[in-house]
Structure 1
């Protein structure tokens, strides 16, 4: 997806969460390790909720910010999860899944920090800051749940 405006960025974020939810759900059906299977099911539900949150976020965002161009995005490396879910998570351990998921969320927060520092108007900066807060909060929730599951 080509990201030219902040609206494109939000839509890309929403699509990323859709893709991850579908992939996690698909891989959970093939995962043999019980704890990893539970984690994938949890992650699928979590990413589906995030997708809905981001969609509502887009509906409520300032139109001025949404239509602002994102010039610097092209120089930032895009986040590339497994593009076609060929069951990579089904073959990973609990810890490997956690590492991959946290890496993806870290990349998203890094992207938002990068763009917030380059936003030309305050409305766009506020929009990216809100996306950043959402991703940071959700990554923290994921870490807490993963640690609880690890303790079981």
Structure 2
């Protein structure tokens, strides 16, 4: 996707979370380890919820902010994720799945932080700060929940 505006950035991020949700859900049926299956199912629902939350940012943001150009995006390293789901998570164990998903969230946070640091328009900075805060809070919540699952 060619990202030119903050609205397109939000769409792209939402689609990344939705794609990850679908992939995790699909892989849950193919993973043979029970703990990994449970984790994949939980993560799938969590990522679908994140896609919904990110979508709300677009609904609640001012049109002029969404239409603001994102010039520095192309200079940022693209987020690496399994864009086509050929069942990569079906072959991973609990810790491998956890590491991959947390790495994904780390990349999203790095992107938001990089863009926030370079944003010159206050409304764009506010939007990126809110997206970054949401991603950080959800990552911490995810880490706590997965930590509890790992304790069982």
Instruction: Tell me whether the two structures share a fold, i.e. TM-score over 0.5.
Output: yes
What corresponds to 1:95 in structure 2? 95
Using structure 1 for the length normalisation, give the TM-score: 0.98
What corresponds to 1:52 in structure 2? 52
Q: How big is each residue's C-alpha offset from its partner over 1:52-110, in whole Å with a ceiling of 9 and x where there is no partner?
A: 11111110012221111110111001102112101000000100001000100000001
Q: How far apart, in 2, do the equivalents of 1:62 and 1:122 lie?
A: 12
Gaps in structure 2 of 5+ consecutive residues = none
Q: How far apart, in 1, do the equivalents of 2:19 and 2:55 lie?
A: 14
Q: Offset at 1:124?
A: 0.4
What corresponds to 2:84 in structure 1? 84
Using structure 2 for the length normalisation, give the TM-score: 0.98
For the residue of structure 2 that corresponds to 1:52, the secondary structure is helix
For the residue of structure 1 that corresponds to 2:3, the secondary structure is coil
Q: How big is each residue's C-alpha offset from its partner over 1:4-60, in whole Å with a ceiling of 9 and x where there is no partner?
A: 111111000100011000000000000111111000000000011111111111100
Gaps in structure 1 of 5+ consecutive residues = none
What corresponds to 2:112 in structure 1? 112
1:123 matched to 2:123? The reply is yes
In the TM superposition, 1:2-151 aligns within 5 A as: 2-151=2-151
RMSD: 0.7
